[in-house]
Chains A and B, each alone.
Chain A
Amino acid sequence: MTTTAPGDPTTASPDGDDRSAPAGAARPVGGAAVAFRSVVKRYAGHTALQGVDLDLAPGELVALLGPSGCGKTTALRSLAGLETVTSGRVTIDGRDVVDVPTHRRDVGMVFQAYSLFPHLTVQQNVEFGLRMRRVGRAERSTRAGDMLDLVGLGDLGGRFAHQLSGGQQQRVALARALVTRPRVLLLDEPLSALDAKVRVQLRDEIRRLQRELAITTLFVTHDQEEALAVADRVAVMRAGTIEQIGSPEELYAAPATRFVAEFVGTSNRLRAEVVDGRVRLPGHEVAAVGSPPDGAAWAYVRPEDVAFADRGLAGVVEGVSFLGAVCRSSVRTGPETLVVLDHRADERRPVGARVALAFTPASVAVAPLD
C-alpha cells in the first residue's frame, strides 16, 4: 500500500547509513515487514522473552497486550535496538537487524514518558530526526510544520515542552517520530500517562495517522480496550511468550486459553462438560465456539452474551449496578459461581429474585481445565 506523505517524502540515512535513500532521493512510502524469530532475552536470573515469534505485515498495526512484566516492552525495545536480544532474529524487510545500532534501524518511537527534548521548541523537536538525516533547513521546516498540522498543533511550533499539556506533548512526540517516515513505528504505552478523554482522542488519532501513512506499527499496551480499539491484530503476551495472536474480534470471541479469556474483556468462567461441540451446563446447553474436544472444561461467556430467560441456568440475583448504557447484574448460580450479565435498565430484576439465564448460541468459548 502506498500513500502520499505530508511534505516531501525524501529522506537521507542517519549517520551515513547506505541502507536508505540519500538526501534528495525519493523512497517508496509505506511500512516494512517485521519478523521476530525465536527471540529470547535473558537478564541475570530472569528471562523476559522466551522464544517469541511474531510477524507484522507492511502497514499493519499489531498491539502487544499483556500484564506488567510479561515482556511486551522488552519485545518492542528489542525491535528498536534499545535491548540486545540473547538469541533469535529480528528482521525488518527480511534483513536481520540484531546487530544494527538503534540510530541506523530507521524506526520511530513514542515513549510512555513524555520524551520531548526540554531545551528545544516543538518545531525544533520535530525537526530533530530530519537534522540527524541532514535534511536541508527549508525542507526540515516545511516537513515539520506539515507534520505538526497533521497532529493539530501547527500553531504551537514555538512553544517548549513545559508549556504543553500531556496530550499535546504526546502529539508532538508522535509528529517527531513520524516526520522522518520511519519504516516501523513503535509505540510504548504512549497513552497511559494521559487522562481518559484525551487517551481516547489520541488513540483514534494514532489509528488515523497510522492508516494514512500506512506505516507498520507495533503498539505496546496493558489496556485491553485500547488494544482492541486500534489494532489490526492483537498479540496477548504472558511470561515472555505470546499466548494468542489474532484480530480483536477473534481474540474476544474465541480466546484460545484461560489466560486470554480472563485477560481480554470480562468473562464468566463456568465449569462445563463438552459433548459433540456443545457445552452442557446445569439446566442449559449451548453450542461452543469452534470444535473443542469432549470432556470436562472451562466455559467462558461474555456478560453481553448472557440474558435473563424463562428457562436455563438457575440462580439468585445478588447485585445490580447501573453502568450508564447498560445495567450489570450478578447472579449466584452455585456456591462458587457468580455469573455477571449486561442488560437494559428496564430488564433489571430485584436483588434476591430467582432467575434463569440463557447464553447466546455459539458465544461460549471453551478452554481445558487447569
Chain B
Amino acid sequence: MTGRSTVARRAALVVVGAVFAVPILAMVAFSLRSADGTGHDLGHWRAIVDPENERAYRNLVEGVTNSLVLAGASAALVLVLLVPAVVLVHLRYPRLVRPLEFVSLVPITVPAIVLVVGLAPVYSVVARVAGSGAWTLALAYGVTVLPYAYRAIQADLASTDLRTLAEASRTLGSGWLRTMALVVVPSLRRGLLAAAFITVAVVLGEYTIASLLNRVNLQTALVQVSRSDPFAAVIFALLALLFAFVLLVVVGRVGSIGTARPVLPGRDRARRSRTAPRKALS
C-alpha cells in the first residue's frame, strides 16, 4: 500500500514537473538554435548583449525597465495601502472583514478587457494630472493584484493570533505605530513577502491593460519584438522566468530568517555571560 502510494506520488510529480519543464526546455532549445538552423550555439544569446543590436532591442529594454518599475511601484502600493487596511480591519473592525474580502476579490471577477474599458476614461484624467508615464499603470495593477495579495496576507493572518500579539505589545508599552512596525509587520513577514512576490509576478506577465492603454511593458515589447526576432522574445521570456524563480527563492529565504535556529541548551547562557559585560563596558 505504502509502496504503491509512493509510486503514485512520484508519477504525479513527474507529470506535473513535465508540464512545467517541457515548454521551458523547448524554449531553451529554440533559443540555442544556430542561425542556419542546422545545429545549436549561443549566437542568439550573444546577439542580445551585442552593442550593435542595441537599437533593435531598445524597445525591449524599455519594456523590461518599465515592467520592473511597475512591479516595484505596484508592490509598494499594495503594501502601503492594503496591509494597513487589512490589519486595521482585522484588529479593530472585525465586522468589516467580509466586506473587505468581497471588495478585494471583485477584480478577479472582472475580465481585463472590461477593466480597461472602465479604466480608459480614468486614465485620460490621470494622464492630464500625472502625465502618461508607464509608472501610472501601477494604479491599475494595484487593483488587478488585489485578490492575490489579499489572499496571501489573509492566509498569514489566519495562522497568526495577531490580535493577542498586538495587545501584548501594547501592554508592554508600545503605541500603535511601534506595534505595527515591531510586531505586526514582522509577524506577517511571510504573507507580505508572498503578496509582494505575487504582485511582481502578475505585473511582469501583464499584457492586456498595457497594450490597450498604449503603454510599453515587458509583455507588449516581447510581442512586438517577436514579430521581427522570435529568438530574442523567447530569450527575454526565459530571463523573466529566471528572475521570477530567483525572486521566489529570495522571498522564501528572507521569509524563513529568524524562525528556525535551534540552539542547544546551555549555549545561550554562555553567550550571554560573554556578551553582557562587554556591552556594559561600551
- Which residue numbers of A lie inside 8 Å of B, CB to CB? 13-15, 80-82, 101-109, 111, 113, 115, 117-120, 123, 128-129, 132-133, 137-139, 141-142, 145, 154-160, 162-163, 173, 176-177, 180, 186
Contact = CB atoms under 8 A, between A and B. Distances in A.
Contact of A155 (B170, B259, B266): B266
A142 B276 contact: yes
A115 B259 contact: no
A186 B168 CA distance: 11
A176 B268 CA distance: 17
Given A138-B276, A156-B265, A102 B170 contact: yes
B272 A157 contact: yes
Residue of A13, A14, A173 ringed by the most chain B CB atoms within 10 A:
A14
Contact of B259 (A102, A162, A186): A162
B260 A119 contact: no
Contact of B279 (A104, A111, A138, A177): A138
Residue of B171, B258, B267 ringed by the most chain A CB atoms within 10 A:
B171
A34 to B, nearest CB: 15
A230 B127 CA distance: 69
B5 interface: no
B186 interface: yes
Residue of A115, A120, A133, A141 ringed by the most chain B CB atoms within 10 A:
A115
Given A115-B164, A141-B279, A159-B263, A133 B269 contact: no
Given A117-B183, A119-B187, A132-B178, A141 B171 contact: no
Residue of B173, B189, B258, B280 ringed by the most chain A CB atoms within 10 A:
B173
B174 interface: yes
11 contacts: A101-B175, A102-B167, A117-B165, A119-B186, A119-B187, A123-B268, A141-B275, A155-B269, A157-B269, A158-B267, A158-B271
Contacts of B167: 80, 82, 102, 109, 111, 115
B59 interface: no
A80 B171 CA distance: 7
Nearest to A149: B269
A113 B279 CA distance: 34
Instruction: Determine the interface band of chain B, counting residues with CB < 8 A from chain A.
Output: 35 or more
Given A118-B187, A123-B272, A145-B276, A103 B175 contact: yes
A160 B260 contact: yes
Contacts of A108: 171-172
Given A111-B164, A132-B174, 18 more contacts: A13-B173, A105-B171, A109-B167, A113-B164, A115-B164, A117-B183, A117-B187, A118-B187, A123-B268, A129-B172, A129-B173, A141-B276, A141-B279, A145-B272, A160-B261, A162-B259, A176-B172, A186-B171
B175 to A, nearest CB: 5
A14 B280 CA distance: 22
A137 B178 CA distance: 18
A15 B175 CA distance: 7
B256 to A, nearest CB: 11
B168 A109 contact: yes
Nearest to A142: B276
A15 to B, nearest CB: 5
Contacts of A81: 170
A115 B165 contact: yes
Contacts of B186: 117, 119-120
A128 B172 contact: yes
B161 interface: yes
Given A80-B171, A109-B167, A180-B173, A138 B265 contact: no
Interface string B236-263: 0000000000000000000000111111
Contacts of B262: 159, 163
Residue of B186, B187, B276 ringed by the most chain A CB atoms within 10 A:
B276
A118 to B, nearest CB: 6
B65 interface: no
A152 B221 CA distance: 64
A156 B165 contact: no
A34 B101 CA distance: 42
A192 B225 CA distance: 66
Residue of B172, B259, B272 ringed by the most chain A CB atoms within 10 A:
B172
Contacts of B183: 117
B171 A109 contact: yes
Contacts of A102: 167, 170-171
B272 A119 contact: no
A123 B272 CA distance: 10
A250 B73 CA distance: 67
Contacts of A103: 170-175
A129 B262 CA distance: 24
Contacts of B178: 132
B280 to A, nearest CB: 4
Contacts of B275: 141
B275 to A, nearest CB: 7
A128 B169 contact: yes
B177 to A, nearest CB: 10
A115 B161 contact: yes
B268 A157 contact: yes
B151 to A, nearest CB: 21
Contacts of A139: 280
Contacts of A129: 172-173
A118 B167 CA distance: 14
Contacts of A156: 263, 265, 268
B226 interface: no
Contacts of A145: 272, 276
B34 interface: no
B160 A118 contact: yes
Interface string B182-201: 11001101000000000000
In the A-B complex, the 5 residue pairs with the smallest Cβ-Cβ separation, listed nearest first, are A14-B173, A132-B173, A158-B263, A129-B172, A138-B279
